[in-house]
Structure 1
Amino acid sequence: MNELQGLVDALAAHLARPVGVDDRRFRALAYSSHGEEADQVRRASILRREAPREVTAWLASLGLPETRDPVRVPARAEFGMAARICVPVWFQDTPFGYLWLIDEPQPLDAAQLAASERCAADLGAELYRERLRELQQRDRERTAVRSLVGEGGEEPAGAAALVSAAAYAVVVLRAAHREGAFAEAVDVRLAAGVEQVRRRAAPQTVLGLVERGTAVVVLALDGADAAAVRAATLQQTAADHLADCAGWSVVAGVGDVCATAAGGLRRPYEQARAAARLGLRLPGLGSVVGWTDLGAYRVLAELVGERPPLQLVPASLRTLLATADGRGLVETLEQYLEHAGDARATAEALFVHRSSLYGRLHRIEAVAGVDLRSGDTRLELQLGLRLWRMGGAPDALDPAGR
């Protein structure tokens, strides 16, 4: 952005007034020295890298995103916003942002406005070149991520794209719709979230790859403890970008932290991917799921691999779910096994009398054809219940196990 800053500073010196450039979402890209002339909105834009939402909503209502002509924007005292001129920044048929100039106390004259329009044209050309450079950089970055998390050799090429660091981690962001839908716009928003985090981080410390509702992010960190913090930031930023997409949620999975990326990061990637997948299936795990926090699910995830977990649910549980009150019986069984067969603790957890619990347990044994006194049976059922949860806990399963 050095060329961009040079153009802004040159125009500010020529006009003897503050100049700023925002992108299409009213986020600050470059700005000249403002001194005391900066109003409240410009100060907020500089400090937070974007204008307040109520201001951007009002500016959009003025038709700024569609126009190519300069627009005189009136002062708004309630926003602490001085009068300004907005010169849209385009390159050919592509809009890139807005050039802003304070228009008081002395409004710009025709010659000054013409100089501003010439500068906007130069800014558009520079932003177009910058976009091409970024696209090339993102292509190299995607290649680097694939190299790092793929079936690599001893020295994957992607390792050179990361700065030397104390620790390395992989975070997988998974976006999912409650009805299983997919939209290309989700990838755009995930990519924007990763890009926002990347821009705020040191160079070569955040590499990202976004495909089909999944973002794979490789991080170079100052220490192992930073992985969870960075993962939480990525998840929250992605969720913010998806806020206007009804029915979507996003979960971050975090693999084990590594001391080096030289041998590739395939293993932590697989862990992060499994953690994210479980996070979507098991909301109780939270929006950021660490591989090391999965407990018994970690073992099952290793054993199941890429197979659908519902295919592995034992026949006894399938039979139980097939009854009219199957889900209630399964949840009773789940509580009983989670409380290690303690009838009193189970009854208290279910808010039922122990005699009612015993009645349910006898019915479970009769319907499923099992003996809950058997340790092997209890183990099989508990593993089956975890597999059922991993598969989304449906109300019914194919009796044949398909």
Structure 2
Amino acid sequence: MAPDLQEIVELAADLLGAPATLEDRDFHLVAYAAHGDTIDPVRMDSILHRRATEAVRTRFESYGIARATGPVRIPADHSLGQLGRLCLPVRWSNVTYGYLWLLDDQERITDASRAMPLCERAGLLMARQARERDDLGWKVADLLSAQPDVRAQAANELAEAGVPDPPLAVAVLRSPSTDPLNPWLLPHSVLTTVWQRDHVLVIPASASPRTVVDRARRLLEERTSPVHAGFFSPCPTLETVHEGWLRARVAARTAAPGETRDWTSLGVLRLLRAAGDEALTQTTQTPGTEALLQHPDLALTARTYLDLAGNVQRTAQTLNIHRQTLYHRLRRIEDLTALTLTNGQDRLTLHLSLTLAPHLQQDD
């Protein structure tokens, strides 16, 4: 959160003598002042989850706060445990950027307009930061461009702006929702954009990249699921962010729902960065391996056997089958693929084919 916004909320709380919070226009928490003993479930949820629920948002917006230019009183709803409160719209240039909320169940605040200059200041700061975020988001998108000259210019402009400081991490989050992440809910030093339907984050090493990625994934999962996340670091310069993004995309592509995969953990799956799906399919698949893939039980048996370095006992235990059943399946696998499992090159061919096949079937 911006220090000036935190200061504004504390000043408003002192001026009006009531617990105060500042939320953006999507009801995400931006800042809050100390509450003492006065709090209700709505305020508690906002602080704990960094946003209000849809039900709360719907109720509060029904009082016309999005169009209001002055204080709006929201009556209590004691059946839901909601205290009465005042809403002061945070606006700049006739645009609502957020809301300053004051708990006032006893209606002790008689002149809330005294705090409107503070709201105007907050509106200016939020408008300025929103514009800065948008500008930086476009520059991040340019860093990911296929055109080297566009990338170079974006890197120069970001360097001149002093944001961010290398080394950097790049994360890619794949989600059905392409609505941008709310920047107020991420550290100010993190740059975000949506590029080729991916949520891309450029994160300074000082911002605890893994924590930021986990936070961003949870925010997206509040809208929809599943989310597949990939991660690459370090990028020593802004010019290397493009390659970091391509590697993070591969990691996200191989991640399970709700999982974050690091490029360094991918092993042979890093080949997905080296060539397109068609080229890799032609290189790693044979008529025999394609035939095997039509038999899921046999393909799973072969993959498990090879992953366990040909250990028959452990393979049988993992698959929960008798050893004689395993031997029978292995003979069928050799017949289907025309490969010999006691031959090192044949084992390598089969293992590579089975490892890459599930990912080559995805659209990139």
Give the whole-Å Cα distance in 1 for the aligned partners of 2:164 and 2:97. 34
In structure 1, give the amino acid aligned to 2:84: A
Give the whole-Å Cα distance in 2 for the aligned partners of 1:374 and 1:293. 27
Displacement of 1:382 in angstroms is 1.0
What SS is found at the alignment partner of 2:240? Answer: coil
Question: Which residue does 1:202 correspond to in 2?
Answer: none
Question: Which residue does 2:59 correspond to in 1?
Answer: 61
Structure 1 unmatched runs, 5+: 177-185, 200-204, 395-402
Structure 2 unmatched runs, 5+: none
Question: Which residue does 1:181 correspond to in 2?
Answer: none
Question: Which residue does 2:253 correspond to in 1?
Answer: 277
Residue correspondence of structure 1 range 362-401 to structure 2 within 5 A = 362-392=331-361
Displacement of 1:376 in angstroms is 2.0
**Alpha-carbon deviations, 1:213-251, whole Å to 9, x = none?**
31221121239xx443433333333333x3xx3xx3112
* Counterpart check, 1:256 vs 2:233: yes
Question: Which residue does 1:221 correspond to in 2?
Answer: 205
Indicate the RMSD between aligned Cα atoms, in angstroms: 4.2
What SS is found at the alignment partner of 1:170? Answer: strand
| Residue range with higher mean Cα deviation, 353-362 or 228-237 | 228-237
What SS is found at the alignment partner of 1:255? Answer: strand
Question: Which residue does 2:73 correspond to in 1?
Answer: 71
Question: Which residue does 1:22 correspond to in 2?
Answer: 23
Question: Which residue does 1:167 correspond to in 2?
Answer: 167
In structure 2, give the amino acid aligned to 1:256: S
Do 1:142 and 1:208's aligned partners in 2 also have CA atoms closer than 8 Å? no
Displacement of 1:27 in angstroms is 3.7
What SS is found at the alignment partner of 1:71? Answer: strand
Question: Which residue does 2:138 correspond to in 1?
Answer: 142
In structure 2, give the amino acid aligned to 1:317: T
Q: 1:125 to 1:356 in 2, by over 3 A?
A: same
Residue correspondence of structure 1 range 85-234 to structure 2 within 5 A = 85-87=86-88, 95-103=96-104, 105=106, 107-109=108-110, 112=111, 115=113, 119=116, 123=119, 127=123, 130-131=126-127, 134-144=130-140, 146-147=142-143, 151=148, 156-157=155-156, 158-163=158-163, 165=165, 167-176=167-176, 186-188=177-179, 190-192=180-182, 195-199=184-188, 205-222=189-206, 226-234=208-216
Q: Percent identity?
A: 24
Q: 1:295 to 1:34 in 2, by over 3 A?
A: closer
Do 2:92 and 2:127's aligned partners in 1 also have CA atoms closer than 8 Å? no
In structure 2, give the amino acid aligned to 1:301: L
Question: Which residue does 2:85 correspond to in 1?
Answer: 84
Do 1:148 and 1:159's aligned partners in 2 also have CA atoms closer than 8 Å? no
| Residue range with higher mean Cα deviation, 270-279 or 148-157 | 148-157
TM-score (normalizing by structure 1): 0.70
Give the whole-Å Cα distance in 2 for the aligned partners of 1:362 and 1:10. 77
Q: 1:96 to 1:363 in 2, by over 3 A?
A: same
TM-score (normalizing by structure 2): 0.76
Number of equivalenced pairs: 352
Give the whole-Å Cα distance in 2 for the aligned partners of 1:62 and 1:266. 43
What SS is found at the alignment partner of 2:251? Answer: helix
Give the whole-Å Cα distance in 1 for the aligned partners of 2:31 and 2:321. 65
Give the whole-Å Cα distance in 2 for the aligned partners of 1:149 and 1:136. 20
Do 1:148 and 1:261's aligned partners in 2 also have CA atoms closer than 8 Å? no
Do 2:172 and 2:201's aligned partners in 1 also have CA atoms closer than 8 Å? yes
Do 2:298 and 2:333's aligned partners in 1 also have CA atoms closer than 8 Å? yes
**Alpha-carbon deviations, 1:345-371, whole Å to 9, x = none?**
322322222222222222222233333
Do 1:3 and 1:126's aligned partners in 2 also have CA atoms closer than 8 Å? yes
* Counterpart check, 1:304 vs 2:300: no
